[in-house]
Amino acid sequence: MTTIAILPENPGSASTAYLAIAGKVHSVGKTPGEALDAVTQQLDDAQRGTLVVVQKLRPDAFFSAEQRTRLEELMRRWRASRDAGQPLAAHDQAELEDLINAELQASAKRAAALSKGLAS
């Protein structure tokens, strides 16, 4: 099953668009569902999964408020750098990648907790 992450491009903005990412495939939509549909259309049948879990982006036991705040700040910097055609500073890029990996691990832990809850 392919993992698809859906992130708001400009959290808190009235015109927030959503970015769906599945490995090297990505898409943008006006809603999370639109972004998901668009990225799913780019996947082949072997990559399409049937389970969708929607997690509101809030702190939890797996990814703290401090981590979430820092991730949002680094994503804003990354977008500004991207829009300016410049790379993100190396130390910021490394920290961003670490936080993305931490959120991915947190997602796996959430999924395991959800699976355990469904089995009982």
DSSP string, the chain: ----EEEESSTT-TT--EEEEETTEEEEESSHHHHHHHHHHTS-GGG--S------S---SSS-HHHHHHHHHHHHHHHHHHHTT-PPPHHHHHHHHHHHHHHHHHHHHHHHHHHHHHH-
- Is the pTM higher than 0.85? The answer reads no
**Angle 65-83/90-119 helices, nearest 10 degrees?**
130
User: Are 70 and 41 spatial neighbours (Cβ–Cβ below 8 Å)?
Assistant: no
| Tens digit of pLDDT at every position of the chain (120 positions) | 677 878 788 766 777 888 888 878 889 999 888 998 998 899 888 777 655 666 666 788 999 999 999 999 999 999 999 999 999 999 999 999 999 889 889 888 887 887 777 666
